[in-house]
Chains A and B, each alone.
Chain A
Amino acid sequence: MMQMQSWRKTLEFICIPLGAILAALFAFGIFCAFAGGNPFGVYYSIYRAAFGSWSAFQNTLIRASPLMLSALCTILPARLGLVIIGNEGAIVLGGLGAVAVGLAIQGGAPIIVQLGMALGGMAVGGLWIALVGILRHYRAVNETISSLLMNYIAIALLNQLVEGPMRDPSSLNKPSSYPIADVNMLGNLPGMRVHYGLLFGIIACILAYILIQRTTFGFAARMAGGNLRAAKIAGLPVGKLTIAICFLGGACAGLAGMVEVAAVHGRANISLNSNYGYGGVLVAFVARQNPLAAILVSIMLGGILASAGILQRSHGLPDATALVFQGLVFLSILYSDSLYGRFDFFKERAIATSEV
């Protein structure tokens, strides 16, 4: 009977998200047909651009890697029931912190500099989101709104610093900080053109999963998230938990910023602000705040982003088409969450009969 149960349940877990994506693709196909594109041609192009070849898949992975780290900034605090959307700010400032440290110790051995940059990015990103947690715990400031506001403040800080005190005067038409030396840059993964951010992202997601599911810390956080009052009565240090978990989330986003600096741009400038933050929030929710699922959802979003170009180039659709596609996929998947348990086919017959 157990066998039966898991068979039907598993089928539900497969069919519902699959159906959601198919529905989104169907709706998008109709949309494309109205816009004058050939839906099947569009489907094939999306597949080809995102997963069609090893090279295309690397494109997908490149776009997915910052999203994994960014998503953790929402996922970890979500264990405490906090909805944090300050990922963008933590990424931007993490990148800034990484550059500051990297430049300060640039004489050291590359591995030391890289480690320093990573710690710098994580510390700054972590403190930024920890501040959200502090405000939440000690001043009861709504964390969603404060983290949203802090995104704007972080971006203003980045601009002010890279165009003022941290500016490299030789960065003529795109104000930037001084560059990180080439030897100190993070390279690509062996045999790929994907940088180490992917590895960091996967490791961080796995660690986050273990932290949440397998440690007392994670257990305490989940308990506090489930019932704050009960947790307080049980003597859990809710304040410390809040701040610690916010710090960890922010540190992940800060690491994403460090990777952008140390593997892509080589310096801090306004390109650090490129919407990985809000992408990460969406990934977190679509993955239902599960770090392992976030890896896969990031890859899916990476694939959508990777296929954005081909819609313009091969099908003559405007650039906004990719946004419409993204929106449809996410709305559809978010909706599909409500469908579990609604279809009789997936219901456990054995249980149903035993209940009667």
Chain B
Amino acid sequence: MNQRPFLSLSRRQVVRGLLASTAFGVARLAAGCSSSGDTADDAAKDAASTGGDDLVVGFIYVGPKDDYGYNQSHAIGAAAMAKIPGIKIVEEANVPETNAVQETMRSMIELDGAKILFPTSFGYFDPHILQLAEEFPEVQFFHCGSVYDEKVHPSNVGSYFGYIDEAQYIAGIVAGETTKTDKLGFIAAKPIPQVLRNINSFTLGARSVNPKATVQVIFTGDWSLPVKESEATNSMADQSIDVVTCHVDSPKVIMETAEKRGIYCSGYHTDQAPLAPKGYLTGAEWDWSSVYTQYAKDLLGGKTLMDGGIPHLLRGGFSDRFCTLSAYGPAVSEKVQADANAVKEKLIANEMAIYQGEIKDNTGKVQIPSDKKYDQKAIELEQMDWLVDGVDGKVAG
């Protein structure tokens, strides 16, 4: 046994590993030898990406760009931004919420010359964006969904988010008036504030026109679980729920299952009408195109987060074109449309608040007393941890 010289067993493997990690160098050599034109090409590409007067904007998505949902809504917005002269977009999809996203941001800054970054997933914020923002104070980071706090966050970080619950409120009105069984369903990923707010607004909207309406919530546990989501839709249909909506990353399968079961559905993130031509009532959609176009105009106009030209905390609902409503489907009667539109106009004119006391949660506890009202900007609403009366479901896992 002792005859075996040190490393003899593993020399092959070590050498192999060594080669593995340097072989790319050889590949590069091959590239260099076989076509010098390519390297020139590449250099030209470099120049194009870093040089010129174009403002380079990086977009990062946590999943695939075309998911009929969250990531797609941002990609549509990015595509709208890319059309503006003077803006160049670089994009990367399927970037996990680990230090991989830090490296992606760094690479966009260092290799592509990005001066503006839109890392769109919530989980990118802390710690990843915060760390990079400190390291690159001249680069501006715009993040979707976080709450900017000037006391702790660097000045080159901005946060934006839409009050899409306004659209969910209107969708709730449509659902509440259209339902025949007075039972609505909401399929949600996780009981987090953004999701709970959508559930509550949807429920409040439905119950504002139909006090008998109840909303059953099913949490699937993760952002994209097609089989579970489909199963949830089916079990809701079995419980004679006749309108379902959702807050998951990719609502495609929910809309399709609802259509198959012959019940109504209400979309989320993007327009899903083609998936359910009969049963699609309406949907709460993001309007990132308008938000990103506005950002682009500000940035091209020389405004920055650091000099205060661009607000650190940007929020908006219908009136600021952060969200829109899908076109009403064939099942929505003209009366319902008129009712919904009337409330929508009131929200746009800021004549009413969704969260106007008294509001009780579904355990009977008063969450908003009768003399109080939260307008959409209230930070309390972004920390919601309760479900409103009329919801069947529980927050704690």
A-side interface residues toward B, CB under 8 Å? 10, 12-14, 16-18, 21-22, 25, 38, 40-41, 43-51, 55-56, 59, 62-63, 159-160, 163-164, 169, 172-175, 209, 213, 219, 260, 264-266, 269-271, 274-275, 287-288, 290, 292-297, 299-300, 303, 305-306, 309-310, 312-314, 318-320, 333, 340
Contact = CB atoms under 8 A, between A and B. Distances in A.
Contacts of A293: 10, 13-14, 16-17
Given A16-B16, A265-B127, A296-B17, A47 B24 contact: yes
Contact of A18 (B26, B94, B98, B191): B26
Contacts of B13: 287-288, 290, 292-293
B396 A164 contact: yes
26 contacts: A12-B12, A16-B16, A22-B26, A40-B34, A40-B35, A41-B31, A43-B27, A44-B42, A51-B22, A59-B107, A159-B222, A159-B397, A172-B194, A172-B383, A174-B192, A175-B190, A264-B98, A265-B98, A265-B127, A270-B222, A287-B13, A293-B16, A295-B17, A296-B18, A300-B17, A320-B94
Contact of B193 (A55, A172, A310, A320): A172
B64 interface: yes
A266 B28 CA distance: 38
Given A172-B192, A300-B17, A44 B107 contact: no
B23 A18 contact: yes
Contacts of B64: 319-320
Contact of A312 (B16, B92, B123, B396): B92
Nearest to A312: B92
B221 A159 contact: yes
Contacts of B222: 159, 270
A173 to B, nearest CB: 5
A296 B38 contact: no
A51 B24 contact: yes
B38 A44 contact: yes
A63 B147 CA distance: 29
Interface in B290-337: none
A320 B23 CA distance: 22
B41 interface: yes
A47 B21 contact: no
Interface stretch (B108-116, B210-218, B354-362): B108-116
A303 B28 CA distance: 14
A13 B15 CA distance: 6
A41 B41 contact: yes
Contact of A173 (B11, B94, B110, B193): B193
A274 B98 contact: yes
Contacts of B24: 43, 46-47, 50-51, 303
Interface string B87-115: 00011111111111001101110111000
B136 interface: no
B372 interface: no
Given A17-B15, A47-B27, 18 more contacts: A10-B15, A17-B16, A40-B34, A41-B31, A43-B27, A44-B28, A47-B31, A51-B21, A62-B99, A63-B100, A173-B122, A173-B194, A219-B1, A271-B123, A274-B98, A288-B12, A312-B92, A313-B91
B99 A163 contact: no
A164 B100 CA distance: 27
A59 B103 contact: yes
B19 interface: yes
B112 to A, nearest CB: 6
A271 B39 CA distance: 38
Interface in B76-91: 90-91
A219 B11 CA distance: 19
Nearest to B146: A173
A68 B18 CA distance: 15
B98 A17 contact: no
Contacts of B397: 159-160, 163-164
- Chain A interface mostly: helix
A40 B38 contact: yes
B346 interface: no
A310 B107 contact: yes
B252 to A, nearest CB: 18
A264 B191 CA distance: 25
B200 to A, nearest CB: 15
A45 B42 contact: yes
B96 A271 contact: yes
Nearest to B18: A296
B192 A173 contact: yes
A173 B122 CA distance: 7
A157 to B, nearest CB: 12
A314 B12 CA distance: 36
A55 to B, nearest CB: 6
A101 to B, nearest CB: 20
Given A59-B107, A271-B123, A14 B15 contact: yes
A294 B65 CA distance: 34
Contact of B14 (A213, A269, A290, A333): A290
A141 B111 CA distance: 50
A44 B39 contact: yes
Given A41-B38, A312-B93, A59 B18 contact: no
A160 B397 CA distance: 7
A314 B17 CA distance: 28
Nearest to B191: A163
Q: A50, A173, A264, A303 — which one has the most chain B CB atoms within 10 A of its CB? A: A173
B54 interface: no
B19 to A, nearest CB: 5
Contacts of B110: 55
B82 to A, nearest CB: 13
A172 B38 CA distance: 48
A275 B96 CA distance: 10
B18 A319 contact: no
B30 interface: yes
Nearest to A195: B99
Nearest to A25: B27
Given A59-B107, A297-B20, A313-B90, A292 B14 contact: yes
Nearest to B17: A296
Nearest to B125: A174
A164 B49 CA distance: 46
B184 to A, nearest CB: 24
A312 B17 contact: no
A313 B65 CA distance: 13
Contact of B190 (A59, A163, A309): A163
